[in-house]
Amino acid sequence: MIQVIVTDYEFPSLDIERGIIEGAGFTLAEASPHCRTEDDVIRSCGGADVLLVQWAPVTRRVLEALPRVRCIVRYGVGVNNFDLDAAKDLGVTAANVPDFCVDEVSDHAMAMILSLVRRIPQDHNQIVRGEWGITRFRPIPAPADLTLGLVSFGKIARRVAEKAAVFGFGLAAWDPYLPAGAFDQAGVKKLEFDELIATSDIISLHCPLVTETQKLINADVFARMKDGAILINTSRGPVVDEAALIDALRGGRLKGAGLDVFEAEPLPGGSPLRGFDNVILTSHAASASERAVSVLRTKAAGAALDFLQGRRPVSALV
């Protein structure tokens, strides 16, 4: 019997996936317990033809140990927990869900941008302490006097640009893989990375986590940012060197940061990031809405079903 196994998930149930997979005559099971390590996947998923995966690592070692697995599908956009090179070498189809949370993540980024520009977390925290007044938070610029710099210019970043334009922000972006026309069409200034970093008042990260973006935002980059810049990260935690970020916040180089993702998740209890009044922390929640989660589950299961029925999933990466 051809079988799909869900390695791990954070949903209340698998009723959506079960309806799609079993409704087409295949079987769906879940790993028990949920897979957190390579060994967990190898031990629990030997009977799978297809894996539906949220956070479990699917590495070369895993794929070599599970020769029956011919397709892996990620619940999400990023695939940094998949070894795509190994999948390609071993003839395993790998797919993701690239467009399920464009509005949610762009809304989340904009909420952080506006909150930090308006000094909302700083004012909130001082009022909680019994203090009052905005003098200490000045200058408070208008959005029309600020440049929002977008690192990468994919679907989410483009939606951020659309929403930020309504508030009057100046817009710039860096993406070495896109032609100039993509920026012109969106009304966004195309800049090289160094110029974007040096001239942006807010820098919002939307790049995937790959070798080239590991700690892309490091101490050298922080040193070249404008004094009083704001950093937003709704992409992946390891894109930012957290130790360097903490130093930049402590030294006053940054006016604030909005962080939905971290180098280690959950954020360790002793992290200094928990102690700043000008930092917004959310728990990798930018993609979350009931609508988005339903779309995610439906499209992930649909990609698995495409493979089972002999079609290449439209979102296949290899």
Instruction: Note whether 51 and 152 are same-domain residues.
Output: no
Nearest partner of 254 among 277, 284, 270, judged by Cα: 277
Kindly state whether residue 316 falls inside one of the protein's structural domains. Answer: no
Regarding whether 277 and 149 lie in a shared domain, the answer is yes
How many domains would you assign to the chain? Answer: 2
pLDDT digits (tens, 9 = 90+) for 96-114: 999 899 999 999 999 999 9
DSSP SS3 for 30: strand
For residue 109, being part of any structural domain is answered with yes
Is residue 138 domain-shared with residue 12, that is, in the same domain? no
Q: Which structural domain range is residue 236 located in?
A: 102-281
Which of 5, 16, 12 is closest to 69 using CA atoms? 5
Residue 260 within a domain: yes
Q: Output the pLDDT for position 173.
A: 98
What was the pLDDT predicted at 35?
Answer: 97
Q: Is residue 188 part of a domain?
A: yes
What parts of the chain have a pLDDT lower than 50? Answer: none
Query: Residue 162: what residue type?
Result: E
Report pLDDT for 33: 87
d(CA 41, CA 58): 8
State the pLDDT at residue 151: 98
Query: Both 56 and 145 in a single domain?
Result: no
**229 forms bridges with which residues in the sheet?**
254
Residues carrying an active site annotation: 236, 265, 284
Q: Is the same domain home to 80 and 106?
A: no
Same domain, 266 and 298: no
Q: For residue 192, what is the domain's CATH number? A: 3.40.50.720
- 259 in the same domain as 304: no
- pLDDT digits 0-9 by tens, 154-163: 999 999 999 9
- pLDDT value, residue 2: 84
